Chain A
Amino acid sequence: MEREQARLKRKALYLRKLKRATHLLFYRRHRKPGVKGWELRKRLGSDYPKVLGLLDAYLEKLDLQVKTVFEGEKPAEKPTLEQLDRARFYITLRGGLTPKETKMSGWRIDDIAGLAIAISYIISKRGKAPRDEVEELLRDKLPGWRVDLNMDRYIRAGYLAQDENRQLYLDWRTRAEVDEKALIDLLLTAEKTEGEKAA
């Protein structure tokens, strides 16, 4: 009886924590979306990774996920609490969007293709590429007047960052939203398919 009561009490506690975590992660509270690990620890307690795990399992049914973006490279092994505290957590789509659904995002197919080119080119150049080179590549597919506009748009949205030497880098939103490895793999595989079609 006592054990059952303790179980119910624990369940109620985690339900409350789940609600709090949902509010924290869904509502934008800072200039950038997402919540830092230390903020979650402060609001949910030191067992916040467990709460996020429960939330992630719940969100799976809705095709959403809790995405963790670590500072620097993703740790090869299980992340430490310190690494989690410094990481940033977001709610993202678990699966991909269909071309029809992209209309909801307010981006044209040209804009998305341009972003794909810019991101994959920067990845292939080890995370840094001159803006002029990326723009030249984009001009191959997009009208010149759109290229500059689009590049500024990608920077404003947080997908790309630019330094004083006009070098482009991948910014926080790309790290949160784009599966870089999957993108490169898809591009390599797709090239073969296209090539095969041409043959």
Chain B
Amino acid sequence: MEERGLDPFLVDVNDVIGIIREYFPEWESIDEFSLDAEAINRLASVIKLQSDWVRHRSTSLYTDPFLLEEKLRKLSRKSLATLFLKSWHPIIEMEQISPHSLSEAIKYWQSLLPLRERWTKTEFLKTELGATSREELIRQQIMAEKVFTEELETLWRELRQTVGKDEKIPYWGFVGADTYEETVWRAYMTSFLVTYGYATFEVHRLEEEIFIIPFSKPRSLLGKKHVVSIPVSVSVEEWRRWRESRRD
């Protein structure tokens, strides 16, 4: 009925409900109840269609389809077209290229590579297979001279030895080196020592001092609630001041 647009009042809803009610006590299986549920669902759709029909009929647009069909058949093509023109207000729109889009199009065209260049296939160089050496990888900077973790652990050992029995060491006391480059490298590696749980910082905010405390065993900091980042400035000026104070 919904698909074919038939008159929903062809179905006598009360009659169908009466039949469902009559046979309902006899049903036992789930399949039988499901069929009843399906029938009631379809009846609900018919009632909705009937309601829509009544609503439409009450609007000013309602006209009897049979009456209108008759009228459409009686009127000539010319009359129909003339009538339609009185209620037709076509959309006005412009499709015109603007100077701006023209200049954009020219720019695009000028930068567009010819097809023969765009469709050129990538050619590959054929080289002989061979083995490479550790030295070659270091030279090409694919591999560092020392593996990172190796370097980190060396620095960790150095930190523990420097600290000795004191438990902690001032930040600049450990990071500071004879050249600025080395200082930066040591600061960089120290940050990893702290991040990876080889050591920790002790910050005295009032005195503006930072100490490094090495751990005897690396500790995992993952999942700890109070993990914070501590920015430490290692500028050339700071390094120079540290060097001066060391000389004094």
Question: A11 at interface (Cβ–Cβ under 8 A)?
Answer: no
* Bound-complex Cα distance A191 to B83 (A): 11
- Closest Cβ neighbor of A111 among chain B residues: B81
Interface residues of A in 51-65 (CB under 8 A from B): 64-65
* Bound-complex Cα distance A177 to B52 (A): 25
**Cross-chain contact A91 with B92 (CB below 8 angstroms):** yes
Question: Can you list, as one digit per residue, whether each of B42-81 has a CB less than 8 Å from chain A (1) or not (0)?
Answer: 0000000000110010001101110011011111011111
Question: B4 at interface (Cβ–Cβ under 8 A)?
Answer: yes
- Per the CB 8 Å criterion, the residue count for chain A at the interface is 60
* Bound-complex Cα distance A98 to B82 (A): 8
Q: Which residues of B contact A120 (CB under 8 A)?
A: 68, 72
Q: Which residues of B contact A124 (CB under 8 A)?
A: 63-65, 68-69
**Cross-chain contact A178 with B83 (CB below 8 angstroms):** no
Interface residues of A in 117-143 (CB under 8 A from B): 117, 119-121, 123-126, 128-130, 137, 140-142
Question: A182 at interface (Cβ–Cβ under 8 A)?
Answer: yes
Q: Which residues of A contact B85 (CB under 8 A)?
A: 96-99, 102, 112
Question: Can you list, as one digit per residue, whether each of A48-88 has a CB less than 8 Å from chain B (1) or not (0)?
Answer: 00000000000000001101000000000000000000000
- Per the CB 8 Å criterion, the residue count for chain B at the interface is 38
Question: B89 at interface (Cβ–Cβ under 8 A)?
Answer: yes
Q: Which residues of A contact B68 (CB under 8 A)?
A: 120-121, 124, 184, 187-188
B-contacting 9-mer, from A2-10, A12-20, A27-35, A148-156: A27-35
**Cross-chain contact A113 with B87 (CB below 8 angstroms):** no
Question: A41 at interface (Cβ–Cβ under 8 A)?
Answer: no
**Cross-chain contact A93 with B92 (CB below 8 angstroms):** yes
Q: Which 4 A-B pairs have the closest CB atoms?
A: A116-B84, A182-B87, A183-B87, A113-B80
- A119, A120, A125, A173 pick with most chain B CB within 10 angstroms: A120
Q: Which residues of B contact A94 (CB under 8 A)?
A: 89
**Cross-chain contact B71 with A191 (CB below 8 angstroms):** yes
- Closest Cβ neighbor of B83 among chain A residues: A186
In the assembled complex, 25 residue pairs joining A and B whose CB atoms fall closer than 8 Å, in A order, are A33-B91, A90-B91, A96-B85, A97-B85, A112-B84, A113-B77, A113-B84, A116-B81, A123-B61, A124-B64, A126-B53, A129-B5, A130-B4, A137-B73, A173-B91, A176-B91, A177-B90, A178-B84, A178-B87, A179-B87, A179-B88, A180-B87, A184-B61, A187-B68, A190-B71
- B3, B52, B91, B93 pick with most chain A CB within 10 angstroms: B91
Question: A181 at interface (Cβ–Cβ under 8 A)?
Answer: yes
- B68, B73, B83, B86 pick with most chain A CB within 10 angstroms: B83
**Cross-chain contact A92 with B75 (CB below 8 angstroms):** no
Question: B115 at interface (Cβ–Cβ under 8 A)?
Answer: no
- Closest Cβ neighbor of A184 among chain B residues: B63
Question: B19 at interface (Cβ–Cβ under 8 A)?
Answer: no
Question: A47 at interface (Cβ–Cβ under 8 A)?
Answer: no
Contact of B87 among A28, A64, A186 (CB under 8 A): A186
* Bound-complex Cα distance A191 to B56 (A): 22
Q: In the complex where A116-B84, A182-B87 touch, is A126 in contact with B74 (Cβ < 8 A)? A: no
Question: B113 at interface (Cβ–Cβ under 8 A)?
Answer: no
Q: Which residues of B contact A137 (CB under 8 A)?
A: 69, 72-73
**Cross-chain contact A110 with B77 (CB below 8 angstroms):** yes
Question: A115 at interface (Cβ–Cβ under 8 A)?
Answer: yes
- Closest Cβ neighbor of B52 among chain A residues: A126
* Bound-complex Cα distance A130 to B95 (A): 35
Question: B228 at interface (Cβ–Cβ under 8 A)?
Answer: no
